[in-house]
Amino acid sequence: MNLVVLTGAGISAESGLATFRDLGGTWSQVRLEEVATPEAFLADPARVQAFYDARRAQLRRVAPNPAHEALARLERAWTRGDFLLVTQNVDDLHERAGSRRLLHMHGELRSARCLACGADSPWDEDIRPESACTACGTAGRLRPHVVWFGEMPLYMEAIEVALSRCALFVSIGTSGQVWPAAGFVRMIPRDARSVEINPERSQMADAFAEHRRGPASVEVPRLVAELLA
Ligand code: OAD
């Protein structure tokens, strides 16, 4: 039985990282048009870099929670088929919990992309105006390796193949408001099982056969225990 798991900001909420669209979420504090579009970066690169620098620095103050840990456990123990974890999150909590078969479709905070040579490389510090690309050495052309609104999400081909072959699709902590991830549940085979884990009804809730209404830190370990029983 092939599994595909999709995660969103809700899985990291209990680790202390704000979601985007909940009350008090990131997009109520800062306008996404000012920090999360290519146009914003052209208009005010320092502002955009500062936004992502702060979020990158915040990663040092948070840790994976039982939901991240349960998914890593599931990946390690799953021998009945393929396993793929797709995350919309740019944090590194899945890999720190031990996940390896993981695709960051919206990129990663701890990575910088060079606009001169196109390479992306691990990046743990602030991206400064004088920062140089570790691949080509060009200074001043680095941007966060995150997908902005208006840009193509990453790894879509591999994700679509995995979705088309899965027997179970689990969506955790995502509002179902951002595409293409919102549409993944409609791309699985007709007879596949679909489970949504979210304390609230997401915008895509009607497309799921099963709903588990509760926090990820409780509901994910519970589902994983059932799958491994
Ligand atoms: P949202 O902020 O849109 O949605 C977060 C979801 O998590 C909501 O449906 C909450 O109900 C749910 N949630 C909150 N606490 C939870 C908990 N403890 N356990 C489980 N669920 C919980 O975040 P995303 O759907 O991830 O993109 O947003 C998708 C994309 O929009 C992000 O990747 C980002 C953003 O703009 C880019 O920046 C490109």
- Nearest CA residue ID for atom 7, ligand 1: 10
Q: What is the pLDDT of residues 157-191, one digit of tens each?
A: 999 999 999 999 999 999 999 999 999 999 999 99
Q: What is the pLDDT of residue 133?
A: 97
Q: Three-state SS across the chain?
A: CCEEEEECCHHHHCCCCCCCCCCCCHHHHCCHHHHCCHHHHHHCHHHHHHHHHHHHHHHHHCCCCHHHHHHHHHHHHCCCCCEEEEECCCCCHHHHHCCCCEEECCEEEEEEEECCCCCEEECCCCCCCCCECCCCCCECCEEEEECCCCCCCCCHHHHHHHHHCCCEEEEECCCCCCCCHHHHHHHCCCCCEEEEECCCCCCCHHHCCEEECCCHHHHHHHHHHHHHC
- What would the pLDDT profile of 216-225 be if each residue is shown by its tens digit? 999 999 999 9
Structure tokens at 23: 């009350």
pLDDT tens digit sequence for 18-61: 999 999 999 999 999 999 999 999 999 999 999 999 999 999 99
pLDDT digits (tens, 9 = 90+) for 79-124: 999 999 999 999 999 999 999 999 999 999 999 999 999 999 999 9
Distance 128 CA to ligand 1 centre (A): 29
198, 208, 211, 212: which to mutate for ligand 1, most atoms within 8 A of CB? 198
Binning pLDDT at 50, 70 and 90, where does residue 147 land?
A: very high
Mean pLDDT of the chain: 98
User: How many whole angstroms from 179 Cα to the centroid of ligand 1?
Assistant: 12
What's the CA gap between 114 and 134, in Å, rounded? 9
Which residues line the pocket of ligand 1, CB cutoff 6 A?
8-10, 13-14, 19-22, 25, 36, 88, 106, 147, 149, 173-175, 177-178, 198-200, 202, 215-216
Q: pTM to 2 decimals?
A: 0.98
Q: Which two tokens mark 159? A: 């994700």
| Structure token pair of residue 143 | 């941007």
C-alpha closest to that of 107 among 132, 133, 87, 93: 87
**193-197 vs 210-212, strand pairing mode:** parallel
- Residue 173 to residue 196: CA distance in whole angstroms: 8
Query: Residue 64: which pLDDT band, with cuts at 50, 70 and 90?
Result: very high
